[in-house]
Structure formats: structure tokens, C-alpha cells
Structure 1
Amino acid sequence: MKRQLIKISLFLLLVTVTVADVQAQRTPRRRANTTGTTGNTQTGDAGQQQTQQNNNAAAPSGYNPYGNIPIEVDKGSVYSDSAARSLRQDGAYDKSMLNDRTPLPYEHLRWDDALFAEKVWREIDLREKMNMPFRYQGQDDNGNQTFIEILLRAVRSGQVTAFSSNDDRFTTPLDSMSISSLTAGGAADTVPVRDINDPNKIVKYTVTQASFDPNSVMKFRLKEEWVFDREASRMFVRIIGIAPLKTLYLPNGQERGSSVMFWVYYPDLRPILANNDVYNPKNMGMHRMTWEELFEARMFSSYVIKSTLDNPNNRTIRQQIKDPILALLEGENIKERIFNYEQDLWSY
């Protein structure tokens, strides 16, 4: 009995000493914290400001610069590639099988058989009468039939890859954000919507953006190669790339030139062009021509701006010849020299 009482007494004594030690250790810490808070108010305010900044930066997605006023996006100004499809047969005859067309494969050309090969860069000006089908703005189940719209739909949908305009060798593919910035009609604009009864009260803000104007693209640049195949004894021309040129204007509205938007590898684009018809102003029933056939049949008007023929400095014609008339004549001279090369190989 005495042993149990002694053990209990020692245990209570040990607990009392431990509690006293813990309280003695906590007391100076509380005083230090209290002293730091009351004695250095500037440090505390700076810490609160830093905490507030971190909280604001941590949630940028929910941040509204206009407070509680809602912000809406004008869906009418957002470009959409989806076209309204006809719910009935839009025509007197069935054209459903036209969507299954595929381009004919190219004939294989061996390097050993290439007796002559020259690269040529040319531009297609849509203001010329022969190139008017490029500007046809008809609508069908595929959407707008303007050639630039057909090209942009193929790029936006991911069917073909767009490459940077920095060079024409297809070295830098562009992502969707870069394509959107290139084809945007302008910077986004936030417009306040005011209350009808109280003009000083703003009900909401609407974000609008101008849509892309297809009429701003009035030229296309082609990169192609002319090859004389000695096995077939004929000249072949293969389009390598195509690029839309966007017209640039001065602040007074005067045209100051054009710039390349992006490059597209033409063989990748051929299957899309094979499923889109070319506008025929004379007879829409008998045209039976696709965009792929138009390019292969060379049914467009263009002028040469550069070639590798007698061009060791790799410069365009306008860089060598400043006069525009003489530059056009030099382009025609290059066409004639390529044509004469094939003709001079024959003897009659």
C-alpha cells in the first residue's frame, strides 16, 4: 500500500514539473510575437500587402477589372468555320458523290532523269479577269467558296499545316494561336452597354472583335519547280507551296504593299482542293472542274517574281530591277527561256 502511494506521488510530481517547464517555454515565444507585432507595424503592413498581392495574382481567371459588372463576348463577332448545311437537296441533280473525289497521284520523277530543273516563284493577282473565280463568294454546305476561305478552313481544322512566313522551306509550323492572330480582323474591343433609363449606369461590357475580311487577300504566291524528264521527254511543273498575301495600307488608306501570311505545302492541300468546285460564270452544270484541276491545268494568270535561273544572289526581280514595267518584262523573259529550253531539245 505504501509503495503504491509513493509511486503515485512521484508520478504526480513528474507531471507537475513537466507542465511547468512547458508553460515556461511558451511564455517567451508569445512575448516575442507580441513584441514583433506591436513594435514593428510597418513590417506587418508590408506583409499584409504582399499577402493581398499574392492572393490577387493567384486567381487571375476570376478577376474582373470592372468589379461586379458582367462581361460578355459578342458571339456574332467570333469567327466560326461551321456552315449551315441544307436540309434538302439544293439542286436538280444529285452531287453527293462529288465529296468522295481524290486527286490523281503524281508521276514519279527520278533524280537521274532530271535533265533540267529550276525553281520559280510567281504571284497570282486576283484583280485580273482570269483570276476572278478566286473571289467567288458563294455559299454551299462547305461554307464560303472564296479561295482564301477554303484555305483557312483547311488550316483551322488541322487538315493541313501552316508554316511560318519567315521562309518558304516549311521549317516552322504555326500553332492555332498564331493562325488566329494572323487571321484576326483586329484587336479585341470592350464596349460598355448602358442602361436605357439611366445613361450614366453601365449594365455590362461586351467584348467584340472585327471578323477577317477575305477581300484583304488580293494575291497568292506560288513556289513551283520546272523539271524536264528525259525519260518521258517532256517538261513537268510541280507546285510546291502556296501562300496568301495580305494587303497592307497606310493610315490614309493608300495601299503600301503586301505581306505573306503563311505557307502551305501544296501536296498536302491537294485532297481538300479536289473536293471544292471552281466557279464557272458561263455554265455551272458543265464546269466539272475542281481547284486541284485548275492548278494542275494552269488555268490562272500570274507573273514571275523570282527564279533560280541566272540568279546567284538569290534575289527577287524587283530587288534587281526597280522599274515595275521592266520587272514584268524580265518575268516574261524567264517564262520564255524555260519554254524555249524544251523546244530547243527537239529537231525537225
Structure 2
Amino acid sequence: MKNQILVFIILFIFSSNLFSQENRSNRGWDDTNQTTYYMGEKDNSTNEFRSTPYPTSETNNPDNNNWNDVTSHRTKAIWADNSTIVSDEKTGMHSFIPYTYVSEDDVLWAKRVKKVIDLQMPQNHPLYFPISVRYDDYYSDGGGELLNEVLNTMDARKNFFQILKDAATTINPQTGKTIVSVYNSSLTRKYSNREVIGDRAINQAGIFQRMEVVRDRDEFGEVIDERDVITEYEPIDIVGYYIEEEIFFDKRRAKLDYRYVSITPLVVSSTGSGLYTSSSRSVKELGTFYFPEVRHLLANHKIFPLDGNIAQRMSFDEFFHRKMFASNIIKETNMYDRNISDYLPGRTLDQLLEGDRIKEQIRRYETDMWNY
């Protein structure tokens, strides 16, 4: 009798597992339920990364933000971006590292800091190199996959600035808009396509271009002709990046957390004016990228590791969120809306020490919550 009961239990468990697997294999892919999967062929045209400039599913866009709206990115606090991870094995597309869910009601304290990433520092070299790669093959006319290649070049080794620039100057034929948007430094205005890309027909330089004066001289060195020429900013011209970060205390988890707000490429300023100076060089901003908008782009491009171990390559998104770069604080939110250089002018060492003091003050906020 006992043997019959044991056999019956084993058959029941086996049949239950069989039914469960058969039932799951018949279910289709559902963007709102990542526990399901699809056994047949998936149409790449329906993939959110290939058919639209930004993820449109409820999973990658739970707040249903309109990425083409100039003010949609400012409707919620930066910590409200509670994204979830999506990995599409059919197309090879990957999404960004998921954030832990945070409710605005749980944010007890928040502070925004502005940092500078100096590309002269060896730790930041993965963001600077390669600088001499030609992208002729990348822009092959015969491919017809430019939009998809910008988003999906996992094996291509591209410069970080080149990734941002290509996405900001590539028009999505379905929407007529660029893949990612470019804003002013305060994220209050979105630049138009003409402002970003420029218009050579009317001799108008874009954000990633500059106007240079070319002079033709005769054999005696005298200027015989002078004309304006539009040239592109190249990766070798980039000297650093501004990156804004919002740090907050989540009382539910009882810990400090952070969200990146924006990132801005920097070049040497020809006018001599700029907020940050490195080695007596003033810098100029080339437009600001809203970080949550470019995360899906950075997640699909790999960075070359500093130690050369290609077995440990990670995406640019992982590189930033693991804080593998070196940076210095140049501003914190304050009553006077001033930078560190405004109240410590010309004192470079004191500015660095002040940035370290702010960093330590933020770190101690968490520990002081439990010490009296």
C-alpha cells in the first residue's frame, strides 16, 4: 500500500512539472511581465530599441513619460526613475542596471552635487580612448542599419563622446527627431535638430561643431583670401565631463543612494571663459545630456577596462554606476547658487579640499543618523 502511494505521488509531481512547462512555452512575450518568454521567432521591428528612439513599454517606462516632450523629464524627481531590467536574447539588446524602488515619501534628505571628470587622470582614460578610430565602415551606405547600429554595437569599440555625439546627431526616420536629446545646462530647454546638427547651407554650426577662419596666403605670406569653415569636434578635443548627481537618504532602507541627473562634454574654450579650469585651460560646454535618456544607449556599448582584461569588460552604464571614474566636486546645492570657485577664486588646492569636505559631509550624514 505504501509503495502504491509513493508511486502515485511521484507521478503527480512529474505530471505537474510537465504541465507547467507546456503552459509556459505557449505564452507569448509580454513587456509588462518579464517572467514570460516566447518560444517562436520574434520580430525585431517590434523591439522597443529598434523601432522607437526610447523604450515605450510600461516596464522600461513605468511613468509613461513622453521622451519627445521638452519638459517631461522634469515632471518627477530624479529618484522616481524606478526602472527595471530588460534583456532581449533574440536581438542582443540589453537594458540598464535596475534601480531599487524608491518612493518620494521615503526621501528624507537630498542634495545635488556637480562634479568634473578630468580626462587627464589615468583612471578616466577609458572615457577618452580610442581617439584615432575612423568610423567610415560604421557609416557604410550599403548597410541601411545606421539607426540600429547606433543603439546596438556591442562589439565595436567606440569613444564615449562619439557614442553621445552620434546618437544626438542621428535622425530617427520614424519620428523625425534625434535618438537622444540635447539640453541646456539647467535642463530647462531642449535644443532643436538644427541647433544640434547645424546647417551648412546657411553656414550655421551645430553644438558639436565650431566655426574656424581659414586664410589662404600667397608665396610671400600675405593673406589673399579668408573664409569661414565649419569643423567637427572630435574625441581628441574632449578634456572632461560635467556630471550632476543627486544624493538622497531613503528612510525605508535607511541608507544613502544616488541618481545621475546629467552629463556634459567639455572642450577647451577659445574665449578663455569657463567654470572649471584644468592646467590653466578654460572649458566650454557642448550641450547637456539627461542621463536617464541615454542609459539604454550606454548599456549597449562596452568600455575597454583600464587593466586591459577584456574578460571583465562592462558597459558604460555599469562603469558609471560602479563609480569606476575619478571626479572632483565643484558645486553643491546652496542658498547662493554659487560654485566652489566663486568663493575660493584662484585657490586650486583649497577648491579640491572643499570638494573633499563636501564629500565627507555627505558620507557622514548616513553614519550620524545612528550616532548620538
TM-score (normalised: structure 2): 0.57
Q: CA RMSD in A?
A: 2.9
SS of residue paired to 1:267: helix
- Deviation at residue 208 of structure 1 after TM alignment: 6.3
Q: What's the CA shift string for 1:15-36, capped at 9, x where partnerless?
A: xxxxxxxxxxxxxxxxxxxxxx
Q: What's the CA shift string for 1:45-69, capped at 9, x where partnerless?
A: xxxxxxxxxxxxxxxxxxxxxxxxx
User: Does residue 224 of structure 1 match 2:222?
Assistant: no
Deviates more, 1:181-190 or 1:321-330: 181-190
1:329 is aligned to 353
SS of residue paired to 1:115: strand
Equivalent AA in structure 1 for residue 240 of structure 2: K
SS of residue paired to 2:370: coil
Equivalent AA in structure 2 for residue 159 of structure 1: I
Identity, in percent, stands at 26
Gaps of 5+ in 1: 1-95, 193-205
Equivalent AA in structure 2 for residue 246 of structure 1: V
Tell whether the 8 Å contact from 2:157 to 2:302 is kept in structure 1 after alignment: no
Equivalent AA in structure 2 for residue 161 of structure 1: S
Residue number among 161, 184, 192 corresponding to 1:164 in the alignment: 184
Cα distance in 1 for partners of 2:91, 2:310 equals 13
User: Does residue 296 of structure 1 match 2:321?
Assistant: yes
SS of residue paired to 2:244: strand
Cα distance in 1 for partners of 2:91, 2:264 equals 26
1:306 is aligned to 331
Cα distance in 1 for partners of 2:90, 2:215 equals 46
Equivalent AA in structure 1 for residue 304 of structure 2: Y
Gaps of 5+ in 2: 1-88, 139-152, 171-177, 198-205, 218-226, 273-278
User: Does residue 119 of structure 1 match 2:112?
Assistant: yes
Please list, as runs of the form range in 1=range in 2, the aligned pairs for 1:193-272 lying within 5 A after superposition: 209-249=230-270, 256-272=281-297
Cα distance in 1 for partners of 2:91, 2:359 equals 35
- Deviation at residue 261 of structure 1 after TM alignment: 1.5
Equivalent AA in structure 2 for residue 239 of structure 1: Y
2:95 is aligned to 102
Cα distance in 1 for partners of 2:189, 2:303 equals 31
- Deviation at residue 290 of structure 1 after TM alignment: 0.5
- Deviation at residue 283 of structure 1 after TM alignment: 3.8
Tell whether the 8 Å contact from 1:123 to 1:304 is kept in structure 2 after alignment: yes
SS of residue paired to 1:121: strand
Tell whether the 8 Å contact from 1:248 to 1:255 is kept in structure 2 after alignment: no
Cα distance in 2 for partners of 1:172, 1:276 equals 27
- Deviation at residue 260 of structure 1 after TM alignment: 1.6
Q: What's the CA shift string for 1:93-143, capped at 9, x where partnerless?
A: xxx989411113322221221122111111100000100101111758546
User: Does residue 176 of structure 1 match 2:169?
Assistant: no
* Larger Rg computed on CA atoms: 1
Tell whether the 8 Å contact from 2:269 to 2:284 is kept in structure 1 after alignment: yes
Tell whether the 8 Å contact from 1:247 to 1:255 is kept in structure 2 after alignment: no
